[in-house]
A and B are shown apart, each in its own frame.
Chain A
Amino acid sequence: MSAARNVLYRSVTTRKLLCLVGLFALLALCFYQNMMTGASSLSVRDLFTALFQAAAATEKIHIIVWTVRLPNALMAILAGAGLAVAGMEMQTILNNSLASPYTLGISSAASFGAALSLVLGYSVLSETLQNYITPIFAFVFALGSSMLVYAVGKIKKDRATIILAGIAMNFLFTGLNSVFSYFVPDETLRGITNWSYGSLVGATLLEDAIVFAVLLVCVPLLLRESWKLTSLSMGEQTAKALGVDVSKLRTKMMILVSVITAVSVCFIGTIGFIGLVAPYIAKRIIGQEQRFYIPAALLVGAILLSAASILSKTPIFGVTFAIALITNMIGIPFLLILILQNKR
């Protein structure tokens, strides 16, 4: 009887691994399709030549593949994965399936940082620095906001405080953004709004590399705490009873989540709903045990944003929709379903 049970758990683990493999295959497919979608026509052979025999490709194809499509497709994967895993951990540490990576006020803070950079203008700085001022400002303010929330959380250590502090941050920075609109010319204002909306258009390979590097460092740190996080999803009481230092875990997670989210949005703006929807889907597919939940969330997030990117490049009934609009269109009904279904 014992041996038979053993087989059953093994098969559960195997099934989960197969799911991950399947998700990875789906991601590869999305990546491929993303690389093949765009205004210019590109044959499969063109694509592979450009990627692997760079010298042989024509200049035009090389530019399309390396300057336009590849950075875009990679950013979709990386930012999608980052937002998904950040959202998933926010949901875990706040024990709330409606939490998202922006719960700590990061989205409005990042928008404010970007707005500030646009308003201050860059006439004094060199051109190379100019390109990175906006992301740097966005990153700094995003991180700053979550550190403020963390500090508040230290004073009164419970989940409700963290959530409320995050809401307060959102209001603060949204308010500051509105104040800005009085002092800036319309052009800049539009720039600010567009940045918040989010877009993958400007992604470069260097930006991809930075996001990748951050994920490469942070995700293993998340995986290290897999079991503690799984215990936390059973409730703060249970986790504490099992000997987990819950507030220390929360702190560590908040820092990691903030860094991941901040770097994901500082280059592309605040694209919504990925961090809310991807964890839900991943949980449905693979369960809440974090050794598998984390990779699943990464993959699902990457797939979702890649798919949204493909859709944003494909005319639907003759109209091309911005990527942020697509994530919103999928996300809002999703959110409604989630709210209606929510047991907690």
Chain B
Amino acid sequence: MRRRMNGLLCLALALSVILAGCGTPPGGSLNTNPAAETKTYTDMAGRTITLPAQIDKIVAVRYMELNMLAAVLGDDFEKKVISLGGSVEKNDFDNYKKFSEIYDLNKLLVMDGLYEDNIDVEAMLELFPDIIIVDVQFQSKACVKKMIEMGLPVVFTDVNTEPFHGEQRSMEMLGEMLGYSERIQAMVRYADEKTDALLQRIDALLASGAKKPVLYFECGNTIPSKIGGSRGDTSSGWGLLWQRLGADNIAVGHGSDVLDPEVVLNADPDVMVIGGSNWDKTSNIMRMGYFVTPEAASAHLGEYVTARAGWDNLPAVQNKKLYSVHFNGTVYPFSFAIFEYMAKMLWPEEFAAIEPQADLDEFFALYMPIEFSGAFAGQWNP
């Protein structure tokens, strides 16, 4: 009986090895045109990837890559981008409205399912894209792994690991792959210079023993009378950003929790910032973006002062240091401006000379295919 069991086990193992070896797809990436010239790169996940030298069919799996690709491709966006994953109109109508001024975004194929992990990989294969852009945070998704296994040209960007430079490095990589190196170099250098200058001065400030401003940051994705989550995880995202810029964030240690209003009142924050975006089209949420006016932002912030008990006694409110900032600011090519705004909020005297709006206007004029409009940061000005 024991021998029979062992025999069965060996048979099973043998079968597994045979089956596993059977279906190996041809090595490397799917080559739609064997005669075409190819080049080898290393993506931001450290993978070696072979792509056609001339890339004409671009797919991204997340709608947020719109800004990055627009900056890299400029006028070539429409003819080269096939899909941005989910529907831009449904998920981010502020960007949709803005970029519809120059592109026909309705022509983009909707390939939904990144977050639910059920992208139709066969449909992706049918598209025969030259490159599929995926942010490295989605590396573990089964559909992404399957696309790699199929030999599809998946390339990983990394915007979030190092949020101050991630967008720039990703754009540089894409610039090289897509053939816009020169243009991108200039853009990235501009952004890097501004960002690095900022960070250097922050480091000097902190080294000299300056007192960190007490900060309360809240996500404004709900009406002012309801409390949104804060961000206290200093290893990534907003928690990391605020810490690096020298804030004393009262949410540290509380993850993405909604902070108890009493905690906020007791902390006596010097600076309060509400994160804004366009999570939906109609609710009374904190809005930031291409179609927001500074007056509207200020008015909305005023509603917080009215709605929140005890806020008018806080130093931040009394000194009019109540601000708003675009919640997705860091994935935009002009994120440096967002950082400048944030630095000014925390250290107004130190950075009095910096003019983020002027920098934005200059950057848009030089590098973005669209004209600047709207507001990506706001202040309460009663």
What is the size category of the interface that chain B forms with chain A? 35 or more
B233 touches A322 (CB 8 A): no
List, in ascending order, chain B residues with CB within 8 A of A201's CB. Answer: 117-118, 121, 142-143, 146
Known: A60-B30, A131-B145, A205-B20. A217 touches B123 (CB 8 A): no
List, in ascending order, chain A residues with CB within 8 A of B26's CB. Answer: 59, 62
A11 at the A/B interface (Cβ < 8 Å)? no
B135 closest partner in A (C-beta): A187
A202 touches B13 (CB 8 A): no
B12 touches A212 (CB 8 A): yes
The complex places the Cα of A134 from the Cα of B12 at a distance, in Å, of 23
A40 at the A/B interface (Cβ < 8 Å)? yes
* Most chain B beta-carbon neighbours within 10 Å: one of A134, A183, A191: A191
Cross-interface CB contact of B121 among A68, A131, A187, cutoff 8 Å: A68
Known: A185-B237, A202-B145, A206-B20. A39 touches B30 (CB 8 A): no
A139 to chain B, nearest CB (A): 16
A216 touches B146 (CB 8 A): no
The complex places the Cα of A206 from the Cα of B17 at a distance, in Å, of 8
List, in ascending order, chain B residues with CB within 8 A of A209's CB. Answer: 15-17, 19-20
List, in ascending order, chain B residues with CB within 8 A of A130's CB. Answer: 140
A216 touches B12 (CB 8 A): yes
B237 touches A64 (CB 8 A): no
List, in ascending order, chain B residues with CB within 8 A of A69's CB. Answer: 122
The complex places the Cα of A216 from the Cα of B10 at a distance, in Å, of 11
Cross-interface CB contact of B122 among A68, A205, A220, cutoff 8 Å: A68
A70 at the A/B interface (Cβ < 8 Å)? yes
CB contacts under 8 Å to B, within A175-234, are 182-183, 185-187, 190-191, 194, 199, 201-202, 204-206, 208-210, 212-214, 216-217, 220
A71 at the A/B interface (Cβ < 8 Å)? yes
A39 touches B126 (CB 8 A): yes
| Dominant secondary structure of chain B at its interface with chain A | helix
A212 touches B16 (CB 8 A): yes
Complex interface bits, A278-301 against B, C-beta within 8 A gives 1, otherwise 0? 000000000000000000000000
A319 to chain B, nearest CB (A): 11
The complex places the Cα of A148 from the Cα of B83 at a distance, in Å, of 49
List, in ascending order, chain A residues with CB within 8 A of B16's CB. Answer: 206, 209-210, 212-213
A308 to chain B, nearest CB (A): 14
B8 touches A185 (CB 8 A): no
Cross-interface CB contact of B116 among A62, A64, A322, cutoff 8 Å: A322
List, in ascending order, chain B residues with CB within 8 A of A122's CB. Answer: 140
B161 closest partner in A (C-beta): A123
Cross-interface CB contact of B117 among A67, A71, A194, cutoff 8 Å: A194
A112 to chain B, nearest CB (A): 17
The complex places the Cα of A59 from the Cα of B24 at a distance, in Å, of 12
B206 at the A/B interface (Cβ < 8 Å)? no
A24 at the A/B interface (Cβ < 8 Å)? no
Known: A67-B150, A204-B149, A216-B12. A38 touches B142 (CB 8 A): no
A267 closest partner in B (C-beta): B142
List, in ascending order, chain B residues with CB within 8 A of A213's CB. Answer: 12-13, 15-16
Known: A204-B149, A206-B16, A210-B16. A216 touches B8 (CB 8 A): yes
Known: A62-B26, A68-B121, A131-B145. A205 touches B19 (CB 8 A): yes
Complex interface bits, B335-347 against A, C-beta within 8 A gives 1, otherwise 0? 0000000000000
List, in ascending order, chain A residues with CB within 8 A of B13's CB. Answer: 213
Known: A59-B30, A217-B8. A191 touches B141 (CB 8 A): yes
List, in ascending order, chain B residues with CB within 8 A of A212's CB. Answer: 12, 15-16, 19
A66 at the A/B interface (Cβ < 8 Å)? yes
List, in ascending order, chain B residues with CB within 8 A of A38's CB. Answer: 122
* Most chain B beta-carbon neighbours within 10 Å: one of A66, A202, A208: A202
List, in ascending order, chain B residues with CB within 8 A of A68's CB. Answer: 121-122, 125, 146, 150
Known: A209-B16, A217-B9. A66 touches B25 (CB 8 A): yes
B38 at the A/B interface (Cβ < 8 Å)? no
A60 to chain B, nearest CB (A): 7
List, in ascending order, chain B residues with CB within 8 A of A44's CB. Answer: none
A186 touches B120 (CB 8 A): no
List, in ascending order, chain A residues with CB within 8 A of B143's CB. Answer: 201-202
5 inter-chain pairs at a CB distance below 8 angstroms, sorted by A residue, are A39-B126, A59-B30, A67-B25, A201-B121, A205-B23
Of all A-B residue pairs in the complex, the 6 with the closest CB atoms, nearest first, are A202-B142, A209-B16, A213-B12, A39-B122, A39-B123, A66-B23
List chain B positions with a Cβ less than 8 A from chain A.
5, 8-9, 11-13, 15-17, 19-20, 22-23, 25-26, 30-31, 115-118, 120-123, 125-126, 137-138, 140-143, 145-146, 149-151, 233, 236-237, 255-257
Given contacts A39-B122, A59-B26, A67-B151, 9 further A-B contacts (CB under 8 A): A40-B123, A59-B31, A64-B122, A66-B25, A67-B146, A185-B236, A201-B143, A202-B145, A209-B15
